[in-house]
């Protein structure tokens, strides 16, 4: 699962109630996780956090347990249940945007054009993400092209713009991982990120205040779904854990501690006023009318994107 997406208090209560220990493994991108899932018939995990597209795909491939009969599924909003499908349950959701250090970026980008064409003082201080969709998202959005376009010609035409922007990028490592592990973390001033990441950064870096902004235009929506490995040897315990996480009281505690937008509509009634007033948490609990949610890419499109990303990363490594 992603870092900082499960409350320590929720973990502790579960372990006390069940006398079982949770072992967590973190990934930096959906692609990194999908490589493991595609290469191993026997996943070393009982529960996996997936994006909505992967949840549908791996469910149809028979790799995941059918969760349509979970009792606490009734607390989840219908639109998020549809997004995750029958083989997963919704967990958190949010928007792709930009995290920025308030001491270094007093005027954060208001558009994707401003992000990919930063002022000189921010060149070399930008973080990106190595991901099939998100690596392309800022530049494609700045050109008025949908991030999940299937048009190979448009992707190839955008390559020159992506390379120009790449010269201004410090790292393609996920911002949370980079800040926690890289000695050059202080050089990172803003980065492509996911709503909620600013809270994780602020918890980790007490002396630095991070903000988050979604540039103008239709937001690109992410959804985290919880799924159970069909080959799990702890299937009943895994089901019990998902029932536990979907209990409104637990879901509310988790949302408050993690500071992420819950998909649990019953939990929304239990949240404090500060949470309800935080626009970044999108507490209305519904998909914005103009929002774009992840959709499946064709195999040819994924292959082309992988080749482009490989060229970008190789060139970037020679420059840094």
Concatenate the DSSP letters of all residues of 3-19 into one string: TT-S-HHHHHHHHHHH-
Predicted local confidence at residue 179, as pLDDT: 94
pLDDT exceeds cutoff 60 at 189: yes
Predicted local confidence at residue 73, as pLDDT: 97
Predicted local confidence at residue 29, as pLDDT: 56
147 and 137 Cβ atoms separated by less than 8 Å: yes
More confident residue, 1 or 16: 16
Q: Helices marked H in 40-196 — which ranges?
A: 52-60, 78-84, 112-116, 137-142, 152-157, 159-166, 175-181
Average pLDDT, whole number, for the chain? Answer: 90
Predicted local confidence at residue 74, as pLDDT: 97
Predicted local confidence at residue 25, as pLDDT: 77
Predicted local confidence at residue 204, as pLDDT: 87
pLDDT in tens, 125-178: 999 999 999 999 999 999 999 999 999 999 999 999 999 999 999 999 999 999
pLDDT in tens, 229-287: 988 889 999 999 999 999 999 999 999 999 889 999 999 999 999 888 886 776 454 55
Mean pLDDT, residues 40-53: 80
pLDDT in tens, 98-130: 999 999 999 999 999 999 999 999 999 999 999
Q: How far apart are CA 129 and CA 62, in angstroms?
A: 29
Secondary-structure breakdown of the chain: helix, strand, coil percentages, each rounded to the nearest 5 = 45, 15, 40
Predicted local confidence at residue 248, as pLDDT: 98
Spell out the domains of the chain, with CATH numbers in brackets.
8-93+222-293 (3.40.190.10), 94-219+294-319 (3.40.190.10)
pLDDT exceeds cutoff 80 at 79: yes
Predicted local confidence at residue 271, as pLDDT: 93
């Amino acid at each position: 699962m992603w870092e900082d997406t499960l409350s320590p208090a929720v973990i502790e209560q579960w372990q006390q109630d069940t006398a079982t220990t949770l072992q967590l493994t973190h990934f930096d991108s959906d692609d990194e996780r999908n490589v493991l899932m595609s290469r191993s018939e026997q996943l070393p995990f009982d529960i996996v956090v997936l994006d909505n597209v992967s949840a549908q795909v791996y469910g149809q491939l028979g790799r995941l347990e059918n969760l349509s009969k979970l009792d606490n599924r009734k607390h989840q909003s219908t639109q998020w249940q549809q997004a995750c499908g029958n083989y997963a349950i919704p967990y958190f959701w949010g928007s792709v945007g930009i995290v920025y250090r308030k001491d270094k970026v007093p005027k954060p980008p208001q558009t994707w054009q401003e992000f990919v064409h930063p002022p000189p003082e921010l060149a070399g201080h930008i973080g990106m993400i190595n991901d099939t969709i998100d690596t392309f998202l800022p530049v494609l959005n700045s050109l008025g092209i949908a991030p999940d376009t299937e048009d190979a010609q448009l992707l190839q035409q955008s390559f020159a713009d992506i390379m120009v922007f790449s010269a201004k990028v410090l790292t393609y490592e996920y911002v949370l991982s980079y800040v926690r592990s890289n000695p050059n973390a202080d050089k990172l001033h803003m980065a492509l990120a996911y709503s909620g990441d600013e809270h994780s950064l602020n918890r980790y870096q007490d002396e630095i205040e991070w903000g988050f902004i979604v540039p103008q235009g239709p937001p690109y929506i992410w959804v985290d779904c919880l799924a159970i490995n069909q080959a799990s040897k702890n299937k009943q315990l895994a089901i019990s854990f998902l029932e536990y996480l979907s209990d409104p009281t637990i879901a509310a505690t988790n949302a408050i501690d993690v500071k992420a937008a819950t998909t649990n509509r019953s939990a929304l009634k239990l949240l404090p006023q500060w949470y309800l007033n935080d626009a970044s948490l999108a507490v209305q609990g519904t998909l914005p009318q103009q929002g774009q949610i992840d959709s499946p890419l064709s195999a040819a499109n994924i292959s082309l994107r992988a080749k482009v990303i490989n060229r970008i990363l190789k060139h970037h490594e020679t420059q840094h």
